[in-house]
Structure 1
């Protein structure tokens, strides 16, 4: 674990293992600890796993206002530059998946594989935009606690809450410890996100799409849409999981990611982009 100063903010991150880089981007309103089962597994399996905290979350600097997805993407690439990572397999869950899409839009030469977990590609609807702005104001006014308890049973399935209370407690703890200012800034940024549907049809690297069968936020139909748009992609549907299959069913999630990573073409050294 560490922290570096890049792009005017301090970025907290975990880095474990050695080998080819695997970079994992958390969702809202979480932090890098949501990837703990993957960081532990894949660092032992020969990967250099890097899991940063996004600005406004975890140990990274909280910046009030509005944080567009492009800002998150540039933060990620700034961290990769500081860590000497030229190309990586880049994955993200929910908002993290949309940040991965934005990274690929801006920096496709930095990516050798993509992982999209429980996310969707469409731009926000008018009603959705209003709801995100309203939620941003609510979080600033009330804090995270009420919201976190309301959404827990959608972030993880009721089955998970009953059978794995430690997972539910971890998810609830991440949500309640997030700074309202950071969460609100991200909500405003996501309200104005672009539509990535056409971009996905032009993806030229292998991709894995993962979703939980009980995900109400980004249902299986959203994952199938992404899978069908990306020319060289795999789809893994994780049973008995909601919006966070990596934590609810880590063995199944890791197995799907293991198989995807094992099938990637061998990497060749490429010069780091200039500028």
Structure 2
């Protein structure tokens, strides 16, 4: 674990694997932290990849910026982190909000993207109903903390059947959610409510894109993943069975095998 001062905040991150390996930047979702990618980091570094997993501003051990943090702020933080690490281009991947940050990164820093990994995410701008919901939840988190939110969300973060079938996984996910600073979570929710429409950005992507989704995701269902694939000429789709919104956590073996296959067959050592 390493910390660096970037754009007015201290960002903590792991930089693992050989420095000469193809860099893979993995972006966690809300309200989690970089440890959610531990199974992927182990598999990727074992295969010779360099893996960078940051705690986003306001999450994990990184500094909190209260108020509102736009997806553009997160994307620019990540570009600054790559600068700090001397990485010109990377495979950029994220889950849920992290996937939207990856799309924002593609929008703002397209020359730095070797490939995109979009996991359980969606491309359209937030709806008016969604904006009101996210701002209301932000108010609730500031007033009540994370515990009630985590308890209510766990059966959607994971496929409901996995909450009971995988108690250690459920406990890990709950612990990440409950440990998140509500100020950071609220700021991200307010910023995410203002996200732009990424469909035009995706339609112009020419680097390899892997779209992956849990078969039983209720937040961003398979139809959302299929909509992204229709937009992107270079996209391929994998549906992970027996998983919900977090297939990398629920089915890490299946997820890792598909990710490694994408990287070796579609990206390669030269990107």
TM-score (norm. length: structure 2): 0.97
Give the stretch that moved more between structures: 23-32 or 150-159: 150-159
> In structure 1, how many angstroms separate the alpha carbons of the residues matched to 2:224 and 2:270?
33
- Aligned partner of 1:11 in structure 2 is 11
Q: What are the Cα deviations for residues 1-47 of structure 1, in whole angstroms up to 9, with x where unaligned? A: 21111111111111211111000000000000110110111011110
Secondary structure of 1:263's partner?
helix
Secondary structure of 1:140's partner?
helix
Which of 35, 43, 50 does residue 41 from structure 1 map onto? Answer: 43
Q: Is residue 121 of structure 2 the alignment partner of residue 119 of structure 1?
A: yes
- Aligned partner of 1:272 in structure 2 is none
Residues 124 and 225 of structure 1: is their aligned pair in 2 closer, same or farther, counting only changes over 3 Å? same
> In structure 1, how many angstroms separate the alpha carbons of the residues matched to 2:235 and 2:209?
4
4+ residue stretches of structure 1 with deviation over 6 A? none
Which residues in structure 2 correspond to 1:151-166 (within 5 Å)?
151-166=153-168
> In structure 2, how many angstroms separate the alpha carbons of the residues matched to 1:169 and 1:14?
23
Q: What are the Cα deviations for residues 239-273 of structure 1, in whole angstroms up to 9, with x where unaligned? A: 0100000000001111111110011344559xxxx
Which of 64, 67, 71 does residue 66 from structure 2 map onto? Answer: 64
**8 Å CA contact 2:243, 2:251 repeated in 1:** yes
Residues 220 and 266 of structure 1: is their aligned pair in 2 closer, same or farther, counting only changes over 3 Å? closer
Secondary structure of 2:141's partner?
helix
**8 Å CA contact 2:115, 2:267 repeated in 1:** no
Which residues in structure 2 correspond to 1:11-160 (within 5 Å)?
11-18=11-18, 19-160=21-162
Unaligned 5+ segments in structure 2 are none
How far the C-alpha of 1:198 sits from its partner, in A, is 1.3
Unaligned 5+ segments in structure 1 are 270-275
> In structure 2, how many angstroms separate the alpha carbons of the residues matched to 1:50 and 1:213?
27
Which residues in structure 2 correspond to 1:216-255 (within 5 Å)?
216-255=218-257
Which residues in structure 2 correspond to 1:210-221 (within 5 Å)?
210-221=212-223
> In structure 1, how many angstroms separate the alpha carbons of the residues matched to 2:226 and 2:267?
24
> In structure 1, how many angstroms separate the alpha carbons of the residues matched to 2:58 and 2:7?
14
TM-score (norm. length: structure 1): 0.96
Secondary structure of 1:167's partner?
helix
Q: What are the Cα deviations for residues 56-84 of structure 1, in whole angstroms up to 9, with x where unaligned? A: 00010001000001000000010110011
Alignment RMSD (CA, Å): 1.0
Q: Is residue 151 of structure 2 the alignment partner of residue 174 of structure 1?
A: no
How far the C-alpha of 1:159 sits from its partner, in A, is 2.2
